[in-house]
Structure 1
Amino acid sequence: MTTLRIGTYNLRGLRDDVPALVRVISAMGADLVCLQEAPRLAGWRARCRALAARCGLRLVAGQGVAGVAVLAAPWVRLVHAESRLLRVFLGLEPRGLAMAVVRAGPALLAVGSVHLDLDGRARLHHAAEAVARLRRMAAPYGAPVVLGGDVNESPHQPAWRYLAGQLTDCYAAAPRGDGLTFSSRRPLHRIDGLFAAPGIRVVSCGGVDASGADLAGATDHLPVVAEVRLGE
């Protein structure tokens, strides 16, 4: 049995208090972190690696056009990584999926990071596309999947309902705290989540024990961290 802490966090393009952001990511104590609005375009890889190093992590997957990435702790071994742009919708931002198959002790896991659109039609399409692509990548390894992301809608809406129907909404399965993630200064909505394959046991899922000032200053979202167990 392997216990892992997996997080998801929207960084708002590092436009806020980066030292506070580093402290929050470090406080997550996560073995794997799914990032959204990570550094993009020219130099994205070097900037993601630099941020990861400041948090004691390393970059294992990224999609630079879409600003999604996966970070991992040093002890987690990378087996395979892919990144994909999702279907392009005319007039909307490019959306992508960063994916990695990792080995944590004896267990394999496929983890993906996605940032869904503000447009409802694109959001629902990309939710289904992300789940399908992540499963397709994981299948040759027999790895269960975890998808983390900024869903940009609440749990009662279609894309979230789709994700929670295909996978387990970690917070709904084992809630810790109120679960609200947006905005960081006045959290009223749960729009960021982690979704795990049914065979993964969710021990707990919720926020991060960091200072209120750091959480409010780091970015406009709050992070989500789930503790899960594999191989039970």
Structure 2
Amino acid sequence: MQLTFASYNIHKGIGLDRRRDPERIINVLNELGADIIALQEADRRLGRRAAVIPRQMLAEHHWQLVPLAARSESMGWHGNAILVRRGVDILDAEPITLPTLEPRGAVCARLRVDGRIMRVVGMHLDLSGLRRRHQIEAICSHMARGAEPSILMGDLNEWSNRKGALRAFGPEWNVLAPGKSFPSRRPLARLDRIVISPEWRCVSQQVHHSALAAIASDHLPVSAALQLPA
């Protein structure tokens, strides 16, 4: 079985032209051709924390929203949301509590695709290196409770290519490096990552750098095509 996973910090839908444009974000998501997408900054930060992309718009473009929102008008939890294409079964979902001083978080969904069960985590980690390491440790501890093939992805805010807080994942995780994704106009840093458990084989990985993605957010999306053995 081969699936494409993607992660995208949509910057609350505000592009480099300073316009909030949910339809533009949807168009970038459609360009990715992904089966499962983790979004960061998917809700507005103030007030009612309303979703950046209307639910009806998601449905019209054949996306299912994993139910994680603590507020009725939100998409996710602390701005973290997970979208899956139609045909993917959502078994359950929950937030992962992280040690933090600012509104950061992670979410976990248990999914079934063609009879195979997997867990997917979306995350947006702290700007502080020490805090990031503690957050990664908390996520890994949460994932140790199950044995399903797993994918962790999101904006890790880690500028180091292989060291720094990334070492907290340990040898049981494979940290992919699709490429430089921030800032979107002229990328310098690999802030957005996909991390996989040993069951997965990475077929390909990339940064999606289309003309539309270059202005839709301050981050570019990253994606990976992954295979599970029969």
Take 1:106 and 1:65, find their aligned partners in 2: how far apart are those partners? 27
Which sections of structure 1, spanning at least 5 residues, go unmatched? none
Measure how far apart 1:50 and its partner are: 4.1
**Mapped partners of 1:48, 1:166: distance in 2:** 38
User: What are the superposed Cα offsets for residues 60-79 of structure 1, whole Å, 9 maximum, x if unpaired?
Assistant: 14354511011100110011
Once the two structures are TM-superposed, the CA of residue 58 in structure 1 deviates from its matched residue by 1.3
Match of 1:30 in 2: 34
TM-score, normalisation: structure 2: 0.85
1:134 to 2:143 alignment: yes
Aligned to 1:79: 91
Judging changes above 3 Å, is the alpha-carbon distance between structure 1 residues 166 and 60 closer, same or farther for their aligned structure 2 residues? Answer: same
Give the direction of change, closer, same or farther, for the CA distance of 1:48–1:81 in structure 2 (3 Å limit). farther
Change (3 A) 1:56 1:97: same
Counterpart-to-counterpart distance in 1, 2:144 and 2:44? 25
SS at match of 1:66: coil
Q: Following the alignment from structure 2 to structure 1, what is the Cα–Cα distance between the partners of residues 39 and 162?
A: 23
Kindly provide the CA deviation profile for residues 134-175 of structure 1, in whole angstroms up to 9, marking residues without a partner as x: 332xx1xx411100010101323321232364411233xxx6
- Asked if the contact 1:18/1:218 (under 8 Å) is kept, the reply is no
Q: CA deviation at 1:43?
A: 5.3
Partner of 1:5: 4
Query: 1:40–1:65: 8 Å Cα contact kept in structure 2?
Result: no
Aligned-residue identity in percent: 33
Report the count of equivalent residues.
Answer: 216
Counterpart in the other structure of 2:73? none
- When residues 52 and 159 of structure 1 are mapped into structure 2, their CA distance, relative to the original with a 3 A threshold, is farther
With structure 1 as the length reference, what TM-score do the two structures score? 0.84
5 Å matches for 1:1-232? Answer: 2-16=1-15, 17-40=21-44, 42=48, 44=50, 47=53, 49-50=55-56, 52-62=58-68, 64-89=76-101, 93-136=102-145, 139=146, 142-154=147-159, 155-163=161-169, 165-171=171-177, 179-208=179-208, 211-212=210-211, 214-232=212-230
Task: Mark the CA change 1:61 to 1:123 in structure 2 (over 3 Å): closer, same or farther.
Answer: farther
Q: What is the letter of the counterpart of residue 189 of structure 2?
A: H
How far apart are 1:44 and its partner, in Å? Answer: 3.9
Q: 1:191 to 1:60 in 2, by over 3 A?
A: same
Taking the aligned partners of 2:57 and 2:189, their CA distance within structure 1 comes to: 27
What are structure 2's unaligned runs of at least 5 residues? 16-20, 70-75
Letter aligned with residue 206 of structure 1: Q
Number of the residue aligned with 2:18? none
